[in-house]
Structure 1
Amino acid sequence: MNTNDNPNLMENLEKKDFIQSSEPIAEVPDNATLINTESEELIEQNIEQEELEETRVSKKEDNKQLLDSKEQEEHVIVDYEKLYESYDIKQLLEELEIIIKGDDVNSIKSKIGYIKVNFTKQVKAIKDKEQKEYIEKNGSIENIEYSTDKEETAFKELFAVYRAKKAEFDKSFEEQKLLNLAEKKAIIEDLKNLINNRETLKKTYDDFNILRSKWDEIGPVPQSELNDLWHQYNYCIEQFFDYVKINKELKELDLRKNLEQKIEIAEKVEKLLLEESFLVVAKELRSSIAYWKEIGPVPREKKQEIEDRFHIAIEKLSAKRKEHFEDTKQNEENNFNAKVALCEKVEELSELTYKNPKEWNEKTEQIFEIQKLWKSIGRANKLVNDEIWERFRKGIDKFFESKKDFFEGLKEVYVNNYNSKVNICVLAEGLKDNTNWKKTTEDLIRLQEDWKKIGPVDNKYSEKLWKRFRAACDVFFNNKSEYFKSINSIEKENYEKKLTLIKQLEEFQISEDNNSNLDQLKQIQNDWMNIGHIPIEHKDTLQSQFRSLINKHFDTLNASNKGSNESFYKMKMETLKETSSGQYKFNEEKVNISRKINTLKSDITLWENNIGFFVNSKGADKLIADFETKISKAKEELATLEDKLKILNKI
């Protein structure tokens, strides 16, 4: 039977060889008599056989129960994570109020975490939207009131109740650990005394099993006492087996089973080297270490080998984690430098003076782009992150304060512009039915130019006035278009020719002769260029369709060989899908890849459009080089992800 079946026996792994306790174990007296008669030897053999069978059954059931409980726990965590993502703010508050009323405060810890994350995310999204709308309307965030203030207050009150209950639970739990420690120390003393007793083998073995059962039933002990307590207990167990010499085969079977379980755990830890998420690695590693220490001793000749294998895997994970955090530190430094450059750009924009609303709106769009770029960069080191954010926020606030002051002085100008545009609308409506095509065209074009020179009006009238003016112009130019339709027959003929070429491209098949393929595509392009004008309303659509088809064929001709990697990934995904839980993981892989593709596309566009912000910054060359490296890596990753998504869609 396993000498350490209690799942609470060890909670942490010391990356050293097991150290036997310095506390002495009572020696067996030389004159101790365990087996006095032939009948007692027969009893001992029967006991040993019965205990062996009980051990096999018990150990199998214990291990199965432990694994089942862990799988069930992980399954529940995943379910609640997905569930709370679909809840709105009101539902999250209601759920929080319900679950904190329960008595088992420790079991709801993960639920509380998911509720808090989703509540914070939704509140932030609402605040960001309301803040943007408020700034667009008022020019700054002064005196802003958010619609989520009441819900945030309620959330904080409920969360305070949870924290109070958790603190009370933790205090009680630590007190119980001290009681558990005293009980386990008493059991160790009883085990030492058991070795020195003179009872029959059956009585001694029964007492031994009772003590082990009591040990397994006792809960966790303080962390500081854990290792020493475990070593003493394990040493007593080993001394007892040596003392009573119970069925060597039973002990060897127990050691072999322990070895099999430790090999399984070592393999699980080695697989973690392929895991990308360090949160998943940390969680699985803690679980594996705790389970490792629960298992107990293995055959002496295999002990060093399996422990070295386990420790080497942990060391590799530690090295990988160290490398990750070093990269994170460098990224945080790069992010800080990039954010300093953005602060300088915002401060530059906030110091300039703009003469008209167009300039203000153009610079406002730049500010919005800078804000998007800021959000995409990532966090700086926590020691400076708040400071750099405060600098950035002050620059933004100063810009919008200046913008607000400017637009306050535009009201009178808006009134004059409004009257001027109304007059132009009246003139255009008087010309809309005129059939003097040339002169009226010139007059309307002149009115359009006058319209552009006037300047803006209040937003609530701008669209209405423009539609009125545009409607009058459209009436005239539609009438003119109908009149001149008769001279458009040549353009229609050219239009049909280009449609024919597009059809050829759609039906074009790539052959094995690349030179022939290239010549045919070039000839189609030359034919396209030699065709004359087509109706203006079809020009952009046909040109876009033609270029898309041409590019598609050229991309096919120029595609690089990615067969080996794609075959490996396809085989991996097909294998995964055939497993019992594979369909869920397969679908999750598709969702994650699609989400990453969208994020990368957004980041690449944002970085490429805004890299110019760093041109005049301190250390501009390094910042631009960093962003160009980011863009290059992102594009490579995007191409790889898109290939993977294609493979998944075909499986």
Structure 2
Amino acid sequence: MLDNNDENIEKKEDNTLVNQVASSNQEENIPEETSKETEVITEIEKDVAENAEKEEVKPEIPVIDYSTFTLEKLVDSLKKLINNNPVQQIKSSVEAIKSAFNKKFGSLLAEKKEAFLADGGNSIDFHFSSPIKTEYNSLLSSYKKQRDAYYSNLETQLNQNLEKRLQIIESLKTLIKEGNASTMYKEYRNLDSTWKEIGPVPKTRYNDTWKIYHHHVERFYDLLHLSNDFRDLDFKNNLEEKLNIIKKAEALSEENDINHAAKELQELHRVWKEDVGPVAKDFREEIWQKFSVATKKIHDKRHEYYKELRSKFQEIIEKKLEVIEAINAYDTSKNTTHNHWQRSIDDIEKLRKQYFDAGKLPYSKSEEVWQKFKSATKKFNSAKNDFYKGEKKGQQENLAKKIALIELAESLKDSEDWDVATNAMKKVQSDWKKIGHVPRKFSDDIWKRFKNACNHYFDRYHQQKNAVSKEQQAIIDEKKNFLESLKEAKEPTKDTVLEAINTWKDLGRLPRNMRHLDGKFNKQIDKMLENLSLDKKEVTMLKFTNVVDSYVADNDVRKLDSEQLFVRKKIDEVVREIQQLENNLGFFSNAKDDNPLVVNVKNKVSEFKDDLAVWKQKLNYLKNLDY
């Protein structure tokens, strides 16, 4: 059967031929089947008619998967198909190439348009042309012209065959009316041979012309003399062939492959009609009924098969509709970030997989469901695209903001006004962190520019901060010498230790990069204090005040605050320990004072109270500092 999308070659059928067949049918009163198998037979005959027309069309070449081909490879494949194959054999392959090409070129077009708009272009001004698309259009146009010419010629050929068959029918009618008894059988055989040699006719005329011809063939045989040996022999041979056809049809009804059985049955009907002549009147109705019964059995089996298939298709449809409903109900209103949308894309992709995994449907059933699926995914994609369009617009704005910060940083990178420039550069860095993403293609370049400007400035800043003046170098040298003299001092006293601490302060502040000398000095003082016969509390406080005073000298507020926080924490811990021990003493209220456990607990309480006094003294010292 010719594809309606290519050419409906029957639509221009000659009205004269139509009327001729119709009038012949009326004139001859051709009998119609009246049994319950009529509907089945009619359907089979329709299939036979369609297949008869297809005899002029060779099978199509197998279709391969073009989804991974590049645009260039698709065009090359299309060119080879057209140049190396008959046009009627490549329709499905051409359609597959068209689908793959349109999808890939559509993606390319969208990408080019996106880049055009990102560069500030107006959508209405966008235009994109490609040599590969031009070549593709040219090849497709050539294919369509060849296809149209082929089906136009095929239509002409089918109509010519119809005209020839109608002429055979007229010749047979004349032979019946006017034929010479001695030669008419030979003339009939010639007509029948010619009839079989004529190619197919339009499918809408196939059954009518065959019935008319078959009717007159039976008339011819019935008019032959009863003793005609040729007629009897033909009847006998035809009966044997038709009985054999019936056996084959009955065997087909037992086949498991119902589609193969149906196809073979159509061929048996064609042979019955086209290749085998009539039988004696006494057997005509009987063998036709047997053939019809066998036909109906296969048809009923096929009907049940497709009924089950339709039920299976309905299950698939319901599964697919459930997926579509889930996609339609999917909420993206709270998606405000790229990560949100990536999760949603993954979710929808899983639903898409469920849709395709549900199974395949025939085109007649899949199209409506497919359109609903496309509509649902289009709704999601539209929301996604709107978000990323907004993101791209926002990224362009972010790019402009970051470029402005880069220009400011580059203007400050060589500044000598350290206080003003440092504060400004720190603010630039803080503002940079608050700005969102920029288009990926600019991201690396602007980050390198920004980092280079910041690094350039702060490298200069730290270099000058670490630079030591003559005055600072003098302080360093004096403190180093003083530290060495302390190490050599013998039998230090409390007064010499206090004097050393005051001297170290009076020598001046060390540059930041030499503050480690303060640490060495503090360790030396601790060592000297350990060799003194002083009260433990006094030694502890001397060490503490020495360290704290160095913080004050450096105006290191952070360390002073941290020290005060640490002291308060220790006071809380010691108080809790004392309370716990005193609570424990309550359990020994009836015990004697010399009880070892009681004595041990009381000693610990006394030690903790001594520690508490020291920690409180440290806190008072810190609280009285002016910083």
- TM-score using structure 2 length: 0.44
Q: More relative contact order in 1 or in 2 (CA 8 Å, sep 6+)?
A: 1
**Larger Rg: 1 or 2?**
2
